[in-house]
Amino acid sequence: MSITLTRFEKEPLFDRLPVQLLRCAATVPPRERIFAQGQLCRAADRICVRLWTFETAPAPETRLEALFSSPGGSLTAFAEFSGKTGLLVNGIPDERFTAKFFSGEDLQGVYAGVDLAIEAAAFLSAFKAGPEEPIPDLGVNLLRRGTCLSSLVPEGQFVPLET
Residue 147 has pLDDT above 90, yes or no: no
Question: CA-to-CA distance for 1 and 141, rounded, in angstroms?
Answer: 12
What global pTM score does this model have? 0.94
Q: List the CATH code of the domain at 3-9+20-162.
A: 2.60.40.1190
Burial grade of 120 (CB within 10 A; 0-12, 13-18, 19 or more): middle
- pLDDT score at 44: 83
Query: pLDDT by residue (tens digit) across 65-121?
Result: 999 999 989 999 999 999 999 999 999 999 999 999 999 999 888 999 999 999 999
- pLDDT score at 108: 84
